[in-house]
Amino acid sequence: MKRFLIYILSILLLLIFLNWLVLKLNHPRKNYKQKVEKNSLYILGDSHALGFNPKYKEDDKTYNLSYGSDNLIDFKRKFDYLIEKEYLQRGDTLVLEVDLQVFSKYRLTSNNNDISGIYTNDFASIKNYYFPILGEVKVLNRKFLKTLISKKSEKKHNDLIKLNSKTDSIRIKNRYKLQFGKDFKLESEFLSILEEIVNQSQNKGIHIVAIHYPLHPYYLELLKEDHDINEMKGKIEKITSPFKFHDYSYRIQKDKYFKNQDHLNSEGKIVLREIFIQEITLDD
């Protein structure tokens, strides 16, 4: 019996140690849960909104809770968290991404639904986030083992867009097929969640600024070839009609401001920030 207990304890200690290593070195989404404090401006979105932190005043602090692959379900959980904790209150502003891809079928399968419940104390999400060793075997992959041995950081891939490159052109088209494709439509489940966020915000006196982030002109052309994007945007704008709606899809055109087909680089985000602050000030 004693030997059996020692065996069980050894297994538990090994799992705890491996879980600690994963959290320390290779947690796939280790920065998902963010520390939040009271402020008057919050941002929800996916990777398009990352690094977008406009400030009205020098001493303001913007809380951007955006994360790559978040969908409307993830937005809603974070929104509920901000409401429950009384961070987001009457008179505050929520900058909400309403880009077309967050309403796509693609986002039904590629998202953070398995861990975003940590904002609402969902047990399964807490387990998946803080104990990844129990949830995903892929955290113990070759990259992780290589990190343990060498501890060398990976060289970052230069992802600047080059439309004259055949490789980049193919990559952009493949990205389009993945996110949209010819069968793309706005998923009703996501439209309903957007409506819930809008209705709750109206009832609580919270101001929403709905945003379409810039896309590279070439990527927009691919979209327009297959879909009536103005009609789709119109459906979204109708839901958010009680609030401000800013479509920046076409506002930034130059290659030098884009990291890839649907993400601005750091310079592009500065340009967008200046446009946003100027327009919001004029709206006020």
Does some domain include residue 151? Answer: no
Question: Beta 63-64 vs 41-44: how paired, if at all?
Answer: parallel
Does some domain include residue 236? Answer: yes
Q: Residue 56: is its pLDDT beyond 70?
A: no
Q: Are 190 and 102 in contact (CB under 8 A)?
A: yes
Does some domain include residue 144? Answer: no
Which region holds residue 86: left if phi is over 0, alpha if psi is between -120 and 50, else beta? left
* Per-residue model confidence as pLDDT tens digits over 111-124: 999 999 999 999 99
Q: What is the DSSP letter of 115?
A: T
Does some domain include residue 11? Answer: no
Which region holds residue 205: left if phi is over 0, alpha if psi is between -120 and 50, else beta? left
Domain of residue 225, residue span: 39-122+159-283
Distance, CA of 167 to CA of 171 (rounded, Å):
6
Does some domain include residue 143? Answer: no
Q: Of the candidates 274, 271, 277, 269, which has an alpha carbon nearest to the alpha carbon of residue 47?
A: 269
Distance, CA of 28 to CA of 86 (rounded, Å):
29
Q: What is the DSSP letter of 88?
A: S
Does some domain include residue 145? Answer: no
Q: What is the pLDDT of residue 190?
A: 98
More confident residue, 61 or 162: 61
**Per-residue confidence band for 45, with pLDDT thresholds at 50, 70 and 90:** very high
Structure tokens at 110: 């590629």
- Total domain count for the chain? 1
- Which residues are CB-contacts of 183 (< 8 A; sequence separation ≥ 6)? 105
Distance, CA of 56 to CA of 41 (rounded, Å):
9
Per-residue pLDDT averaged across 135-158, rounded?
A: 48
Per-residue pLDDT averaged across 48-61, rounded?
A: 75
Per-residue pLDDT averaged across 228-234, rounded?
A: 95
More confident residue, 148 or 265: 265
Instruction: Using a pLDDT cut of 90, give the percent of the chain over it.
Output: 58
Does some domain include residue 175? Answer: yes
Q: Are 120 and 232 in contact (CB under 8 A)?
A: no
Q: What is the pLDDT of residue 154?
A: 41
What's 248's domain CATH number? 3.40.50.1110
Does some domain include residue 29? Answer: no
Q: What is the pLDDT of residue 135?
A: 61
* Per-residue model confidence as pLDDT tens digits over 77-111: 999 999 999 999 999 999 999 999 999 999 999 99
Q: What is the pLDDT of residue 151?
A: 46
φ, ψ for residue 85, nearest 5 deg: -85, 0
More confident residue, 169 or 149: 169
Per-residue pLDDT averaged across 39-65, rounded?
A: 84
DSSP track, 6-44: HHHHHHHHHHHHHHHHIIIII-TTTT-S------SEEEE
